[in-house]
Structure 1
Amino acid sequence: MQLTARQHEIMEIVKQHEPITGDQIAEMIGVSRPTIRSDLAVLVMLGMLDAKPKVGYFLGTQMTTAAETLKQLHEKRVKDVMSRPVIVKESTTIQDAVITMFLEDVGNLVVAGENGELAGVVSRKDLLKFTLGNAAAPQMPVSMVMTRQPKVVTVSPEDPVLDAAAKMIHHQVDSLPVIEESGAIAGSISTETTTRLLLELAAAEVSAHERDRSVNR
């Protein structure tokens, strides 16, 4: 259900001044109390507002839970959700890279240089395109097909998860290497990881909402 402009205005007033009476809301909008009676009833019915006699209106459970979920999402850092990186050396053969990729069930491999620094990344698509019709490909080094630094898009452990997700969408990649300030490879973050996080937070919000509803019955 879409809220009207006046209902949005009421929500903003309550958010800033809760608890607040209906008469005070009407005065701030510049209308009479009966004019907004139906708006207040709709917002309470939707769980967006709650009301207590002699206290007034305040944000409902649905709104406070959603706000808390959004806050948690903004506070999550890459280091909180990143996974162990699957690393191969530049000298690793394409055949061994393919085997590693399938054994580890990942879509991308991080390629490390001689000193353990990030040298590049290689994806299933890269390997497939290179090996099709190329009989010599399996014994070639993975460095022949990888995307090299500095063209690799990376994130740091302290970056917000939302920033990492935005980078993956913008650059149309499934995962990003997580690199420390020192240049060390710290981990990897994928679209699967960010999607799982969103689902977990959404499930927690639904559970909290259902629990509050059962308590208030």
Structure 2
Amino acid sequence: MIDFTKRQQEIIEILKKHEPITAEQIAEMLGVSKGTIRSDLAVLVMTGNIEAKPKVGYFLGKKNLNRLERSDWWHRTPVKDIQGVAVTIDATTTVNDAVISLFLEDVGTLIVVDEEHHLTGIVSRKDLLKVTLGNAQAASMPIQLVMTKQPKVTTVTPEDSVYEAARKMIYYQIDSLPVVKETDNKPNLLKVVGRVTKTNIVKALIEVESEA
């Protein structure tokens, strides 16, 4: 990998904002002569970071465009493009059955919903472990006594960006988020339409990188 000089990096930044642009215009913005940047432009063209067209000027090369597209992927990709199927249970499910569901579905959290698939809460592997340790009666307890209830559940919508989902996971130190939609303009009534996990995001990132 080539380490570009400060001036070469400045040239790339100028092209990001002003392409296509002539060598004279680039030199003027940098406060130097056209001759001074001739070698810099040559290096950037040879490495594929910028391209030149006669009578048009310089513009970003495919290598830089790919890099920009990848860095922008977080912000322009909606959650709905990478989300998975929500693994749900109802509030009357026992702790024992919830534990079985966790292992059968191989997930870290279960989303608790009502009969119309509205979000009522969420329960994690850690929650179930806490309640079962040293508690012989825990197995028959309804999950509604253990779950984190809906007002305190962190969620995303299908239209939220992948970046926003990742930001929430890191900030709240959680591995997955219910994906929800408001019902009939009632902000407290959220219908579960999927879930997004750290694994979903990592897999999508790998696909983006492999296509570059």
Post-superposition Cα deviations, 1:30-52, rounded to whole Å, max 9, x if no partner, equal: 21223223322332343211234
Post-superposition Cα deviations, 1:144-181, rounded to whole Å, max 9, x if no partner, equal: 22111211111112211211111111111101111111
**CA-atom RMSD, angstroms?**
2.0
Residue 61 (structure 1) aligns with: 62
Residue 20 (structure 1) aligns with: 21
Q: For 1:148 and 1:2, how far apart are their aligned partners in 2?
A: 52
Instruction: State which drifts further: 175-184 or 3-12.
Output: 3-12
Number of aligned positions between the proteins? 205
Alignment of 1:31 onto 2:32: yes
Residue 11 (structure 2) aligns with: 10
Post-superposition Cα deviations, 1:71-128, rounded to whole Å, max 9, x if no partner, equal: 4442221222211111111111111111111111111100113553211101111111
Distance 1:24 1:124, change over 3 A: same
After the TM superposition, which segments of 4 or more aligned residues of structure 1 sit over 6 Å from their partners? none
Instruction: State which drifts further: 30-39 or 135-144.
Output: 30-39
Higher strand share: 2
Q: For 1:121 and 1:2, how far apart are their aligned partners in 2?
A: 48
Give, in angstroms, the shift of residue 139 of structure 1. Answer: 1.5
Residue 88 (structure 2) aligns with: 87
Q: For 1:91 and 1:17, how far apart are their aligned partners in 2?
A: 60
Q: For 1:144 and 1:102, how far apart are their aligned partners in 2?
A: 20
Q: 1:180 aligns to what SS in structure 2?
A: strand
Q: For 2:116 and 2:17, how far apart are their aligned partners in 1?
A: 55
Q: For 2:118 and 2:19, how far apart are their aligned partners in 1?
A: 53
Q: 1:177 aligns to what SS in structure 2?
A: strand
Residue 212 (structure 1) aligns with: none
Alignment of 1:41 onto 2:42: yes
Residue 170 (structure 2) aligns with: 169
Q: For 1:113 and 1:151, how far apart are their aligned partners in 2?
A: 17
Q: For 1:96 and 1:105, how far apart are their aligned partners in 2?
A: 14
Unaligned runs of 5+ in 1: 206-217
Residue 195 (structure 1) aligns with: 202
TM-score by length of 1: 0.84
Unaligned runs of 5+ in 2: 184-189
Give, in angstroms, the shift of residue 187 of structure 1. Answer: 1.0
1:71-86 equivalences under 5 Å are 71-86=72-87
Give the partner amino acid of 2:113: A
Instruction: State which drifts further: 113-122 or 80-89.
Output: 113-122
TM-score by length of 2: 0.86
1:117-156 equivalences under 5 Å are 117-156=118-157
Give the partner amino acid of 1:85: A
Q: 1:25 aligns to what SS in structure 2?
A: helix
Q: For 2:103 and 2:9, how far apart are their aligned partners in 1?
A: 51
Q: For 1:136 and 1:13, how far apart are their aligned partners in 2?
A: 67
Give the partner amino acid of 1:124: R
